[in-house]
């Protein structure tokens, strides 16, 4: 089946592009409050960061009040270091970096600040169904209708199935501009196949002598498979609040998919809310499972041309030029995922989005600098 149809079904992928881009920043928590019941691994790391003495640090033998490594002054009869000035209270290390802004104040309050820059790779697989409305078309026997042909609503032309199955591979980057505010962008390539079933009542559209009561043409089904090979760009921001034990994240992003030929570019907006606990699994390592919800807002006018195989006695096909508005069939989806922060510089993330008519699986790896 020849098809030059608009592959707007891949818009489902844009939604997952966003999600992968959103979570590239989650591998390093922006604010982890130090508490009295902080796990031992965290206490050790913050102790080293602030310069506090560890329990194993050597003290002057017989002089318990001396600071670590100090010896009584040579040549003087010292029996204790009680008169020695006590060490100054330790404070978290100040980071002399531009981003995140106001990081120094957060560190003074006992918060752990992530590395500001993030670079990563991602892959996303999606399967999504859409609905259409406001379909306008022009139908012709043989060659496709001209590009300037008038398109009008045709009750005799309907869509019965709109589904896309696509895979994305891309790169992403993010920056913590404030301890709890992250901005991100991603660039990716979407490839896959979109399917649409179009039904055309030929008897209502094709005049005699090709279709006539004595020899009706009937309804022809056009199962169209179109290849997807588009470039996607996503930009967005997220807000994060949390401690060393839990986090909450809200995100918003805008995605544009750049098409070619007679295909229409697709724009979509994505909103998400996620949260969950954080567990220390080692020195400077955390595991954070989470749940949430995601809403994918897509409503775009798209256009294309489809052509059937030979249908008439003379071997001519039926060609259809169309414009149609698309919306996600069920825009809401539940989110289940997990982040694994191996070190302050390396993180992994995986996520499943499950909706009534959509499924998306993503995986990302991020390096923080």
DSSP H or E segment with residue 16: helix 11-23
What confidence score (pLDDT) does residue 263 get? 59
Task: Judge whether residue 9 has pLDDT over 60.
Answer: no
Chain position carrying tokens 């724009």 = 267
- Is 0.75 topped by the overall pTM? no
* Span of 71-75, 82-86, 227-231, 291-295 with lowest mean pLDDT: 71-75
pLDDT of 33: 36
What pLDDT band is residue 337 in, cutting at 50, 70 and 90? very high
Q: Which of 176, 178, 244, 179 is nearest to 33 (CA)?
A: 244
**Higher pLDDT among residues 319 and 259, named by residue:** 319
Higher pLDDT, residue 62 or 139: 139
Q: pLDDT value at position 25?
A: 36
Question: Does the pLDDT at position 249 exceed 90?
Answer: yes
Express each pLDDT in 168-206 by its tens digit: 999 999 999 998 999 999 999 988 887 878 888 877 777
Indicate the range of 64-78, 87-101, 351-365 predicted with least confidence: 64-78
Q: Is pLDDT above 50 for 5?
A: no
Residue 8 has pLDDT above 80, yes or no: no
Give the separation between CA 206 and CA 293, rounded to whole angstroms: 48
Cα separation, 8 vs 10, whole angstroms: 5
pLDDT tens-place string over residues 87-127: 444 444 545 778 999 888 877 877 778 899 999 999 999 99
8 Å CB contact between 196 and 9: yes
Cβ neighbours, 10 Å, residue 120: 25
Is 85 a residue whose pLDDT tops 60? no
36 pLDDT above the threshold of 70: no
Long-range contacts from 147-150, C-beta under 8 angstroms, 24+ separation = 147/321, 149/321
Contact 17, 229 (CB under 8 A): no
What gap in Å lies between CA 52 and CA 296, rounded to an integer? Answer: 48
Q: Domain 3-34+114-368: state its class.
A: mainly beta
Which of 13, 12, 23, 10 minimizes the C-alpha distance to 364? 23
């Amino acid at each position: 089946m020849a098809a030059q149809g608009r592959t707007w079904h891949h818009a489902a992928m844009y939604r997952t592009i966003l999600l992968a881009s959103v979570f590239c920043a989650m591998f390093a928590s922006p604010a982890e409050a130090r508490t009295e019941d902080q796990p031992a691994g965290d206490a050790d790391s913050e102790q080293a960061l602030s310069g506090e003495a560890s329990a194993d640090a050597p003290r002057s033998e017989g002089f318990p009040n001396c600071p670590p490594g100090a010896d009584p002054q040579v040549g003087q009869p010292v029996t204790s270091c009680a008169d020695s000035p006590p060490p100054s209270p330790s404070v978290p290390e100040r980071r002399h970096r531009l981003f995140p802004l106001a990081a120094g104040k957060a560190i003074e309050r006992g918060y752990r600040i992530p590395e500001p820059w993030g670079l990563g790779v991602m892959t996303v697989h999606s399967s999504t169904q859409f609905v259409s409305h406001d379909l306008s078309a022009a139908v012709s026997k043989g060659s496709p209708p001209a590009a300037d042909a008038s398109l009008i609503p045709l009750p005799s032309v309907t869509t019965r199935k709109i589904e896309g199955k696509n895979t994305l591979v891309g790169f992403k980057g993010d920056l913590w501009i404030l301890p709890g505010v992250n901005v991100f962008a991603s660039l990716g390539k979407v490839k896959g196949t979109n399917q649409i079933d179009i039904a055309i009542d030929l008897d209502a559209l094709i005049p005699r002598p090709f279709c006539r009561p004595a020899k009706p043409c009937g309804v022809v089904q056009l199962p169209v498979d179109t290849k997807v090979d588009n470039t996607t760009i996503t930009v967005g921001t997220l807000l994060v609040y949390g401690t060393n034990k839990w986090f909450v994240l809200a995100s918003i992003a805008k995605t544009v998919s750049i098409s070619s030929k007679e295909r229409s570019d697709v724009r979509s907006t994505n909103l998400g809310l996620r949260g969950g606990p954080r567990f220390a699994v080692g020195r400077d390592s955390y595991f954070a499972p989470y749940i949430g919800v995601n809403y994918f807002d897509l409503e775009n006018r798209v256009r294309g041309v489809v052509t059937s195989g030979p249908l008439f006695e003379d071997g001519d096909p039926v060609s259809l030029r169309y414009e149609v508005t698309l919306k996600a069939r069920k825009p809401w989806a539940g989110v289940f995922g997990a982040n694994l922060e191996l070190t302050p510089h390396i993180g992994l993330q995986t996520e499943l989005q499950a909706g009534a008519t959509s499924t998306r699986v993503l995986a990302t790896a991020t390096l923080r600098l």
